[in-house]
Amino acid sequence: MTTPTQALTPAKVITTSADYSAIVQAGAITNTIDTQKLFDKTAKESTSSPLDQFIANSNTLNLLWSNQENVSKEFLSIVFLGYISAVESYVRALIRSIIQVDVISLKNAENKPITFGAALHHSKPLMPEALMDNASFISCENIVNTFKNLLDIDLILDDTTTQEFDKICQLRHCCVHRFGKLGAKNAIALGLESHSSLFEKPLILDKPALGQIALTLRIIMKTINNSVYRSILDRTFPTTPVGKGSDKQLPKALWSRSYETDKILFGKYYRLFSTKLEKSPPVKEMYNRFISEKEAALLKLAKGSKKPAVPNPQPIPAHQPIVAENVEPPAPEPGAGAE
């Protein structure tokens, strides 16, 4: 017969010190990562244009795989992420450099907040980097909005450029967040009808595919470079009057239309956007193209209006904001006003 005391006594007592969560042996971290030793403190900031930096970085990545016969898809995926990194580095370098050269962009960025730590420790040339601490360049829309919000620059890109870049960004998301597998949101962005059967399927990059991606990114970065260059130069030489009626005004330009007078300032813009690695046209040729197009626009404006002439924009110092200049009202026609 079982007594009350025996009923409360376990049939078998298990004694163990093992952690029930130790389903695998994890070990202990005995060596911590000293991150400050992982960066080159002696490195100097590049004096090349942002585009040349991008081209050089891309060329370095090309050497890792283009001449290799047998390259794993995993390695090609890693190199692919390197190209994306080169893109983001280019955009950041371009925005930072524009603020250092272009007075209008500088004034637009002046009221943007940065962190106290960035203000305390960044050198003056690198201070604009702090404006992009929370920026992400994983889509064309993000890049376009960043140029507009920070610099008031309209980045104009055609549909094909936008679509191809966004495709590449979706592939990047698969590599970074899903070890190459296609997620539902990525499939929707790429086209659900054609990608619905590929859910959770891994990305398989081969050499031709990576080569096409690398070339496409190079074309897109050059397109962005040229578009931003045009937008910036356009607003330094306005050719469209602003205002209404007799209050219409033609804003002043930064340029005298004399290369000898303008070459120092224009040279700053030229060096910012040109490439030595792929040999941009000479600076004087680019200046003449720019001035010729603007003079043609002014001539067209003058012919299209009843005004006898549109006054030539006068140069102003680069450190001063652009102000407006009055356009004289049209002269009265003979006999006008007589009753």
pLDDT of residue 8: 61
Q: Measuring CA to CA, which residue among 88, 77, 90 is closest to residue 50?
A: 90
Distance CA 279, CA 277 (A): 6
Q: Following CA atoms 288, 228, 128, 93 in sequence, which dihedral angle do they give, to the nearest 10 degrees?
A: -90
| pTM of the complete model | 0.81
Q: What is the pLDDT along the chain (339 residues), one digit of tens a residue?
A: 666 655 566 666 566 667 888 889 888 899 999 999 999 989 988 899 999 999 999 999 999 999 998 999 999 999 999 999 999 999 999 999 999 999 999 999 988 888 888 777 777 777 888 888 888 888 999 999 999 999 999 999 999 999 999 999 999 999 999 999 999 999 999 999 999 899 999 999 999 999 999 999 999 999 999 999 999 999 999 998 888 877 788 888 999 999 999 999 999 999 999 999 999 999 999 999 999 999 999 999 888 765 555 556 555 455 444 444 444 444 555 554 443
Q: What H or E segment, with its residue span, contains residue 151?
A: helix 140-151
pLDDT of residue 10: 60
